[in-house]
C-alpha cells in the first residue's frame, strides 16, 4: 500500500506524554492497615514525549517489552485515555473528546477483551453495531457478507459466541470491529493465544482489509511473525520513549548489521583460514558445517572465500531473525535501564 | 440521526437481546419475584395483627394494606442493581470496549434494567393480583384514572432517580479502588428511608421534616402514597416538585462526576 503523502497524516502525535499516579501498598495485614492511614503516592511516566505521524493506509507495528508504554499509546490514540501533555490528533479529532464522528471512523480490538455478547449469536452484536453506527441495511448486508467470506465464518454467525473457539471468536471480534468500515483499526495483541493456523488466517485477513479498503492499521504484538507479515513500518517504544521508527528492514540493518552465513560442505573443512578475514566474526566450524557472521558490505567477498574452502553442498545467507533482534534489543535496554 | 434517537435504537436492540438471554432463566426470576413479594406480605400481616390487637398507629388499616400490596410492585419497578456492576466495569477496565463505540456508555445498563423489569412484570403482576383480590375489601382504591396516571409518572421518575443515584455511586470507582461498601450502605439506608421496610408514615413525628424531604422517599414511598394515602392536591404538587428537583439536581451532579471520572479512567488491563 503506497502512502498518500500529499494528504495530512491520519495520526499526528507530538511530544505525547502520559503519567499515571498510583499508591504502593506493602503485602500483608500490616501493609494494609498502614495504607489505611497513610498512603505513598507515586507517579509513573508511561509515555514520554513520543512524536510520530502515520499516513493513511499504512500498517504500523508498535513494539516493545511489557510495560514499555505501547498499549498506553494505543489507548490514548483510541480515546480511552486522556493525554497528560503534548499534542495528539487522529483523523482531525482529539481522541479523548470521543466525538461521534471520530468513534464511528475507528475501531479497537483488544485480544483479551471482548466486544461481543457472550450468550447470544454474534449476529446480535453485529446488528447492534448496525444501529450504533447508523448503517443502512444494504451497507450492513454487503459488509457482513464480505467480511464473513474473508474470515470464513459464515457458519458461525448464528452460533452463541460462548460456544465458539478462541480462534473463531477472534475472527468474529474482527468482524464486529470492521463491519462499519473504520478508517483506522487499532489492534492490541490480536493473535494472542491463537494457534498457528488461526494466526495465519488473521494475518492474511488483515492484509486483505488493508489492501482492499485502505484501512490504516496500528498493531501491537509480541509475535514477530505478525509484524513481519503485516507491517512495512515499526515503532519501538521502551521505557515510554520512542526508540526506533522506520522500516522493518532498517531495523534489522540497524540492530543487526551482519548477515548470518551457514555453509555445508561434502567433507570436513579447515575454518582457520576464515579467522583473519576482514568483516567476519563469530566463526564456528563443526565438521562439515561453517557458521559465521559477515558485514553486509563484505558478504559477497566472504561467500567467495567460502566456496574455496572445499566442495560446497549448501550455502544459506540470512538476516538475523526479527524475534532474536527484538529480544537482544529489549534485553540490552532492560540491562541498561536496570543499571541506570 | 440525532444522538438521542441513535441511543434509543441501540437501547431497543439491546433490550430485545437481553430479554432473549434472560428468558432462559425462567425459574430464577420466578423465585426472585417470590422473594420480592414475600417481605411486603409478611410486613402486611404483622402490621394488620398489630392493628387488630389495638396498636395506635397514625394510619389506618386500609392505608397499611394498600401500602404493602403495592410495595412489591413499586420496589421492583424503581429498583436498580447496576452500581456494583458498573463500578466493577470501571475498576477492571471493562468499560473500554464500550468507550470506543459511538453510543452512551450506559445503554447496556439501561437495557439490562428495562429487560429485567419487563420480564419480572409477568411474574409479579399475577402474584400481586392474587394478594389484591384477597385484601380487596380493605384497600384504598382511587376511583378515577387521574391518581393512577400520577402513580405511573412518579414510578418513572423514581426509577430515574434510583438509576441516577447508582451512576453517582458507581462513578466514584474512577477514583476509589472499591465502592462495594458504599453500594451496600446505599442499599441499607435506602431500604429504610425509602419506606421499603416500614411505611414512612410510621416514622417518629420529630423526624418527619427530614424523612418527608430526603430523596429516598421519592424512590418508593411517594408513588405508593399517591394511591394509598390521602395526599391533597397541594401535597401532590409539592411532592412531584421535589421528586423532579432531585432527578434534575442529582442528574446534573452525576453527569459532572461521570465526566470528571472519565478523565481519570485508567483503562486497566490490555
SS (H, E, C) B175-226: CCCCCHHHHHHHHHHHHHHCCCCCCHHHCCHHHHHHHHHCHHHHHCHHHHHH
Domain count, chain B: 1
Alpha carbon distance B243, B217 (integer Å): 9
Q: Is the pLDDT of residue B73 over 50?
A: yes
> Mind telling me how many Å the CA of A122 is from chain B's nearest CA?
11
Closest CA to B268 of B99, B101, B89: B89
Is A170 a domain residue?
A: yes
Q: Is A118 near chain B, with CB under 8 Å?
A: no
> Mind telling me how many Å the CA of A25 is from chain B's nearest CA?
13
Residues of B within 8 A of A20 (CB-CB) are 266
DSSP state of A40: E
Is B176 a domain residue?
A: yes
Is A195 a domain residue?
A: yes
Alpha carbon distance B131, A284 (integer Å): 92
Q: Are residues A269 and A172 part of one domain?
A: no
Please answer yes or no on whether B102 and A110 come within 8 Å at the CB atom. no
Is A6 a domain residue?
A: no
Q: Is the pLDDT of residue B270 over 60?
A: no
- State the distance between the two ends of chain A, measured CA to CA, in whole angstroms: 41
Which of A106, A112, A134 lies closest to B270 in CB terms?
A112
Q: Is A73 near chain B, with CB under 8 Å?
A: no
Alpha carbon distance A220, A239 (integer Å): 16
Q: Are residues A261 and A198 part of one domain?
A: no
For range B62-91, the mean pLDDT: 90
Is B269 a domain residue?
A: no
Is B73 a domain residue?
A: yes
Q: For A8, what's the count of Cα atoms within 13 Å in the CB-facing half-sphere?
A: 9
Is B115 a domain residue?
A: yes
Looking at residue B269, its pLDDT comes to 63
Q: Are residues A292 and A169 part of one domain?
A: no
Is B270 a domain residue?
A: no
Contact A217, A190 (CB under 8 A): no
Structural domain including B206 reads: 3-264
Complex-level ipTM beyond the 0.85 threshold: no
Burial-class residue A1 by CB neighbours within 10 Å (0-12, 13-18, 19+): middle
Q: Are residues A272 and A181 part of one domain?
A: no
Is B8 a domain residue?
A: yes
Under an 8 Å CB criterion, which residues of B touch A? 1, 3, 6, 9-10, 12-14, 17, 20-21, 24, 93-94, 96-97, 99-103, 263, 265-267, 269-270
Q: What CATH number is attached to the domain comprising A283?
A: 3.30.70
Please answer yes or no on whether A134 and B269 come within 8 Å at the CB atom. no
Looking at residue A36, its pLDDT comes to 66
Output the tens digit of pLDDT for each of chain A's 340 residues: 444 456 789 999 999 999 988 777 677 767 667 766 777 778 889 999 999 999 999 999 999 888 889 999 999 999 999 999 999 999 999 999 999 999 999 999 987 778 888 888 899 999 999 999 989 999 999 999 999 988 889 999 999 888 999 888 989 999 999 999 999 999 998 888 788 888 888 899 999 999 999 999 999 988 888 888 899 899 999 889 998 899 988 887 777 778 888 889 988 888 777 777 788 887 888 888 988 888 878 888 888 888 888 888 998 888 766 777 777 777 766 554 444 4
Q: What is the pLDDT of residues B168-178, one digit of tens each?
A: 999 999 988 77
Looking at residue A252, its pLDDT comes to 78
Structural domain including A312 reads: 257-318
Q: What is the pLDDT of residues B193-230, one digit of tens each?
A: 999 989 999 999 899 899 999 999 999 999 999 998 77
Q: Is A132 near chain B, with CB under 8 Å?
A: yes
For B259, the closest chain A residue by CA position comes to A97
Q: Are residues A206 and A304 part of one domain?
A: no
Alpha carbon distance B150, B156 (integer Å): 10
Q: What share of chain A is helix, strand, coil (3-state, %, to 5)?
A: 40, 30, 30
Q: What CATH number is attached to the domain comprising A122?
A: 3.40.50.300
Looking at residue A336, its pLDDT comes to 47
Domain count, chain A: 2
**Cβ count within 10 A of residue A36:** 9
Q: Are residues A229 and A294 part of one domain?
A: no
Please answer yes or no on whether A124 and B17 come within 8 Å at the CB atom. yes
Q: What is the mean pLDDT of chain B?
A: 89
Which is more confidently placed, A332 or B56? B56
Q: Are residues A261 and A130 part of one domain?
A: no
**Cβ count within 10 A of residue A29:** 7
For range B4-28, the mean pLDDT: 83
Looking at residue B253, its pLDDT comes to 96
Q: Pick from A253, A273, A301: which residue ends a domain?
A: A253
Is A122 a domain residue?
A: yes
Contact A116, A161 (CB under 8 A): yes
* A23 Cβ neighbours under 8 A, 6+ residues apart: A35, A39, A40, A41, A42
Looking at residue A337, its pLDDT comes to 47
Is A191 a domain residue?
A: yes
Is A241 a domain residue?
A: yes
Mutual orientation of helices A122-132 and B3-22 as an angle, nearest 10°?
160
Alpha carbon distance A225, A58 (integer Å): 18
Contact B76, B115 (CB under 8 A): no
Looking at residue A338, its pLDDT comes to 47
Residues of A within 8 A of B270 (CB-CB) are 71, 110-113, 188-189
Determine which helix (DSSP H) or strand (DSSP E) holds A137, and give its type and residue range.
helix A137-151
Is A339 a domain residue?
A: no
Q: Which range, of A77-86, A99-108, B96-105, B118-127, averages the lowest pLDDT?
A: B118-127
Residues of B within 8 A of A112 (CB-CB) are 269-270
Residues of A within 8 A of B3 (CB-CB) are 100
Q: Is the pLDDT of residue B59 over 60?
A: yes
pLDDT band at residue B1 under the 50/70/90 scheme: low
Q: Is A95 near chain B, with CB under 8 Å?
A: no
For range B246-258, the mean pLDDT: 96
Q: Pick from A253, A272, A291: which residue ends a domain?
A: A253
DSSP state of A8: P
Which is more confidently placed, B141 or B75? B75
Is A104 a domain residue?
A: yes
Q: Is the pLDDT of residue B135 over 70?
A: yes
Q: Are residues A242 and A202 part of one domain?
A: yes
Q: Is the pLDDT of residue B16 over 50?
A: yes
Phi, psi for residue A41 in degrees, rounded to 5: -95, 140
Contact A180, A115 (CB under 8 A): no
Amino acid at each position: 500500500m503506497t502512502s498518500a503523502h500529499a494528504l495530512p497524516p491520519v495520526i499526528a502525535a507530538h511530544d505525547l506524554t502520559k503519567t499515571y499516579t498510583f499508591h504502593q501498598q506493602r503485602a500483608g495485614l500490616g501493609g494494609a492497615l498502614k495504607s489505611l492511614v497513610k498512603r505513598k503516592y507515586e507517579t509513573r511516566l508511561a509515555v514520554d514525549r513520543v512524536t510520530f505521524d502515520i499516513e493513511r493506509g499504512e500498517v504500523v507495528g508498535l513494539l516493545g517489552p511489557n510495560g514499555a508504554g505501547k498499549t498506553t499509546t494505543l489507548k490514548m490514540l483510541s480515546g480511552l485515555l486522556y493525554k497528560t501533555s503534548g499534542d495528539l490528533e487522529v483523523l482531525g479529532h482529539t481522541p479523548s473528546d470521543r466525538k461521534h464522528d471520530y468513534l464511528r471512523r475507528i475501531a479497537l480490538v483488544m485480544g483479551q477483551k471482548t466486544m461481543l455478547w457472550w450468550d447470544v449469536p454474534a449476529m446480535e452484536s453485529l446488528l447492534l453495531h448496525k444501529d450504533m453506527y447508523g448503517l443502512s441495511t444494504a451497507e450492513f448486508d454487503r459488509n457482513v457478507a464480505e467480511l464473513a467470506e474473508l474470515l470464513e465464518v459464515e457458519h458461525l454467525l448464528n452460533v452463541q459466541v460462548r460456544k465458539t473457539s478462541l480462534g473463531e471468536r477472534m475472527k468474529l471480534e474482527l468482524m464486529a470491529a470492521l463491519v462499519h468500515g473504520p478508517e483506522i483499526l487499532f489492534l492490541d495483541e490480536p493473535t494472542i493465544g491463537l494457534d498457528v493456523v488461526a494466526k495465519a488466517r488473521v494475518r492474511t485477513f488483515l492484509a486483505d482489509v488493508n489492501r482492499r479498503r485502505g484501512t490504516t492499521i496500528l498493531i501491537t504484538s509480541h509475535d514477530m511473525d505478525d509484524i513481519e507479515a503485516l507491517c512495512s513500518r515499526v515503532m519501538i517504544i521502551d521505557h515510554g520513549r520512542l526508540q526506533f521508527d522506520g522500516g522493518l528492514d532498517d531495523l534489522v540493518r540497524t540492530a543487526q548489521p551482519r548477515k548470518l552465513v551457514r555453509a555445508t560442505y561434502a567433507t570436513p573443512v579447515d575454518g582457520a583460514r576464515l579467522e583473519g578475514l576482514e568483516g567476519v566474526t563469530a566463526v564456528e566450524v563443526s565438521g562439515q558445517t561453517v557458521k559465521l557472521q559477515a558485514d553486509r558490505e563484505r558478504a559477497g567477498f566472504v561467500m567467495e572465500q567460502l566456496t574455496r574452502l572445499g566442495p560446497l553442498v549448501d550455502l544459506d545467507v540470512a538476516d538475523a531473525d526479527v524475534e532474536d533482534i527484538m529480544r537482544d534489543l529489549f534485553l540490552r535496554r532492560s540491562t541498561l535501564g536496570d543499571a541506570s | 440521526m440525532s444522538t438521542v434517537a441513535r441511543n434509543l435504537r441501540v437501547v431497543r436492540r439491546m433490550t430485545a437481546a437481553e430479554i432473549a438471554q434472560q428468558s432462559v432463566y425462567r425459574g430464577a426470576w420466578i423465585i426472585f419475584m417470590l422473594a420480592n413479594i414475600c417481605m411486603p406480605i409478611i410486613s402486611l400481616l404483622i402490621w394488620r395483627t398489630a392493628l387488630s390487637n389495638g396498636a395506635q398507629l397514625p394510619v389506618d388499616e386500609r392505608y397499611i394494606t394498600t401500602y404493602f400490596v403495592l410495595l412489591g410492585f413499586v420496589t421492583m419497578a424503581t429498583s436498580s442493581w447496576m452500581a456494583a456492576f458498573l463500578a466493577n466495569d470501571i475498576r477492571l477496565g471493562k468499560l473500554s470496549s464500550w468507550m470506543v463505540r459511538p453510543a452512551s456508555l450506559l445503554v447496556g445498563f439501561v437495557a439490562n434494567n428495562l429487560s429485567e423489569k419487563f420480564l419480572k412484570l409477568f411474574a409479579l403482576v399475577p402474584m400481586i393480583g392474587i394478594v389484591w383480590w384477597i385484601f380487596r375489601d380493605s384497600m384504598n382504591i382511587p376511583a378515577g384514572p387521574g391518581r393512577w396516571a400520577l402513580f405511573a409518572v412518579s414510578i418513572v421518575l423514581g426509577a430515574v432517580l434510583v438509576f441516577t443515584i447508582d451512576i453517582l455511586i458507581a462513578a466514584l470507582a474512577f477514583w476509589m479502588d472499591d465502592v462495594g461498601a458504599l453500594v451496600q450502605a446505599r442499599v441499607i439506608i435506602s431500604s429504610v428511608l425509602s419506606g421499603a421496610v416500614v411505611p414512612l408514615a410510621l416514622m417518629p413525628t420529630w423526624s418527619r421534616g427530614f424523612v418527608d424531604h430526603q430523596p429516598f422517599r421519592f424512590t418508593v414511598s411517594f408513588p405508593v402514597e399517591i394511591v394509598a394515602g390521602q395526599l391533597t392536591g397541594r401535597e401532590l404538587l409539592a411532592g412531584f416538585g421535589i421528586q423532579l428537583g432531585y432527578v434534575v439536581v442529582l442528574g446534573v451532579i452525576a453527569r459532572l462526576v461521570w465526566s470528571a471520572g472519565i478523565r481519570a479512567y485508567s483503562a486497566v488491563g490490555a
